[in-house]
Amino acid sequence: MIAPKSRCLRVKQAGPGATLQDAGRFGYLRYGVTPAGPMDFAAFRTANLALGNDAGAAAVEIATGGFEVVCEGAPLWLAFAGGAFLWQRDGAGLPPAARIHLKTGERLAARAGTFGAFAYLAAAGGFDTPSVMGSRATHTRSGLGGIEGRMLKEGDLLPVAQAQAVPDFEAAIAAPWLARDCDPIRVVPGPQEDYFSPAARARFFGSEYRLTPAADRMAYRFQGPEIEASQGHDIVSDGVALGAIQIPGDRQPLVLMADRQPTGGYPKLGHVAKADIGCLAQLRPTETCRFRPVTADEARAALLALEDAIAGANAHLQPLRLPLTTQRLLNSDLIGGIFDPLGEL
């Protein structure tokens, strides 16, 4: 019997920054292990849930460098979401978030669109690469997870696990949390809030900050009015959580993202509310944002509301109406029934 890798995608093009991510590598933070995981968990979970996957199943995280795959072996159900990337199946446009059935030999391509820095491509069943320390998440700096601990590249084969159940119709995902959100990013002040004078805090929360090109999966460095730490910009190391806003010696905010280290030695003015971390992650260099303070309880309420909405993501599925390209018509069984070569019907 031949046992081919019958369920897989072949990478045809991978721009910089494409990695495999699951929900993250947890349980080893105390040993200095970076959690990794998706930059925009809302988009990541949405793509998985649209396929009936576990919300944290491994998916491809695509950056603005774009990505293209071809279906090898059996046809696959796929879903994608995040930002307003431009998606095409064999050259025909698709919505920025959708689930589709990709047939053998068909290509699916993504490139950066009007907004957004990260999109997710999930497969029904989940991508089935080896689990390292309980996770498939890629952390390139320590070479863990994904494929050989590195970014994806042309020629990689992405195996897909057998799905428990598959969808029965192609659909666009019109979820409100995937839209661009320009509200001020919510921030819970602390834990080194007392390192910053009321004036320094007022300046931070009253100003616009521009994302610099120094923005990657580890940290986003912003530029704007300087924030001085009244007790100095070094502290004895303590723990660091997702979204920590560090103020190092250059007095410019540095927000720690998915590939953060679990500890750090700069004072932290606050933490970006987890409900808004995806909005922040979707910024591109030169784009601006503002921050506003909220309590931990307000941030918690916002997170629970967002998570509940994402859990009901499939209420936002709308059957996909595809543009009738010539190629699709020729491939279609309908061709003998209605055929309007001059487009006059």
Partner 1 sequence: MSAAPAPRYLAAGESALVVEFGAKIDPAIHHRVLALDAALSKANIGGVIETVPTYRSLMIHFDPRRWPMEELVAAIARLEEAPRLALELRRRWHIPACYEPPFAEDIDLVASALGLSAARAAELHATARYRVYMYGFAPGFLFLGGLPQALNFPRRPMPRAPVPAGALLIAGGQALIASCPMPTGWYMLGRTPVKMFAPRRDPIFLMGIGDEVCFEQIGGSAFRELTEAAEAADYYPRCECVDDRA
Q: With binding defined as CB under 8 A, does residue 42 bind partner 1?
A: no
Smaller CB separation from partner 1, 64 or 129:
129
Site for partner 1 in 295-324 (CB under 8 A): 296-297, 299-300, 303-304, 307
Nearest CA-CA partner of 80 in 104, 105, 113: 113
Distance, in Å, from the CA atom of 98 to the CA atom of 86, rounded to the nearest integer, reads 11
Q: With binding defined as CB under 8 A, does residue 190 bind partner 1?
A: yes
Distance, in Å, from the CA atom of 17 to the CA atom of 153, rounded to the nearest integer, reads 10
Q: With binding defined as CB under 8 A, does residue 334 bind partner 1?
A: no
b/e per residue, 73-90, with b = 16+ CB within 10 A?
beebbbbbbbbbbbbebb
Distances (CA, A) of 65 to 49, 111, 341: 25, 7, 37
Distance, in Å, from the CA atom of 94 to the CA atom of 107, rounded to the nearest integer, reads 12
Give the shortest CB-22-to-partner 1 separation in angstroms.
16
What mask, x for binding partner 1 by CB under 8 A, covers residues 260 to 299? -xxxx---x--xxxx---------------------xx-x
Task: Say what the alpha-carbon torsion angle 29, 122, 17, 41 is, to the nearest 10 degrees.
Answer: -50
Distance, in Å, from the CA atom of 243 to the CA atom of 303, rounded to the nearest integer, reads 14
* Residue 221 near residue 214, CB atoms below 8 Å: yes
Q: With binding defined as CB under 8 A, does residue 151 bind partner 1?
A: no
What secondary structure letter does DSSP report for 163?
A: P
What mask, x for binding partner 1 by CB under 8 A, covers residues 112 to 141? --------------------xx-------x
* Contact window for partner 1 (CB under 8 A) among 53-61, 75-83, 189-197, 213-221: 189-197
Distance, in Å, from the CA atom of 158 to the CA atom of 80, rounded to the nearest integer, reads 16
Give the shortest CB-83-to-partner 1 separation in angstroms.
23
Give the shortest CB-31-to-partner 1 separation in angstroms.
5
Give the shortest CB-70-to-partner 1 separation in angstroms.
32
Q: With binding defined as CB under 8 A, does residue 55 bind partner 1?
A: no
Q: With binding defined as CB under 8 A, does residue 253 bind partner 1?
A: no
Residues that bind partner 1 (CB under 8 A): 26-34, 132-133, 141-142, 144, 188-191, 235-244, 261-264, 268, 271-274, 296-297, 299-300, 303-304, 307
